[in-house]
Amino acid sequence: MGLTNLMIYPKYQSMLIKTRSLVEGSKDAKGIVVIIDVLRACTTIPILLKNNAELIIPLTTPKDAKQYESRGYVLIGEGEHGHVHDSFHYNNSPGELYNKDFTGKKIVIRTNNATQAILNADKASDIILASFVNLDACKEYIKNHHTGHVTLVPLGRLGKKGLEDELCAIALKSALEEKTYDFPGMKKKIYNCECAVLVRNTLKKPQDVELSLKLNSYPVVPKVYTNKIIRAAKT
């Protein structure tokens, strides 16, 4: 088989990787769109899937979530600035959820950034969710499925770029390009960044920070399927 024929397959095509930060960036993101929200949704969701959740539906508001309660869904989410909101059974908190069994459970999740970005990414051909906990799994998924165009969307917080998400995007881009990255150095910076301090000190969730910085600890790729339903990607 000649080189010309080989080029029709995605894994032999060159990969164009762009970064479009913040929720606003998700609106124009194309190709495989990778939503990155280290603290905390894109760490929470791989944990839910690893703990055998059947499916996860991203929603915009707490009011939307309440409509699912009578149908037996588990409601997960957060209020303003990540605080606990009484509409939900659980907070958007890796530390609160990592040891829970969700076998067979259907879940709805509402967060301040990630679920909004997922629902805004209308130009994407594919959407997956990435954090440090599933970075290598996301790398392999992208390498096996890309058709040339990948957009990384590090979300940040309150319309401002977040160090934790920007560094995760840099790490994933480096991994895709077969380049090294300094995870111990990144981890040290993130541990003292604004969002980590908020989660650890204000929200009183120090374990969320610790779990979010365990590299490749939850090798599940959350993929957004038809009708915006999140399931673990098939290999």
Domain boundaries, the chain: 16-230
Q: Is the pLDDT of residue 12 over 50?
A: no
Edge to edge, the sheet with strand 222-225 lists 16-19, 149-154, 31-36, 124-130, 222-225, 229-232, 55-59, 106-110, 74-77, 90-91
pLDDT in tens, 24-53: 999 999 999 999 999 999 999 999 999 999
Nearest to 105 by CA among 40, 44, 41, 51: 51
pLDDT in tens, 45-97: 999 999 999 999 999 999 999 999 999 999 999 988 788 898 999 999 999 99
Cα 190 to Cα 152: distance, rounded to the nearest angstrom: 19
Domain covering 16-230, topology: putative 2-phosphosulfolactate phosphatase (3.90.1560)
Is the Cα dihedral 229, 19, 93, 184 positive or negative? positive
Over residues 103-123, mean pLDDT: 97
Q: Checking DSSP bridges between strand 229-232 and strand 222-225, what pairing results, if any?
A: antiparallel
Q: Please give the sequence-ordered ranges of beta strands (E in DSSP) within 28-176, or none if there are none.
A: 31-36, 55-59, 74-77, 90-91, 106-110, 124-130, 149-154
pTM score, whole prediction? 0.93
Cis peptide bond prior to 157, omega within 30° of 0:
no
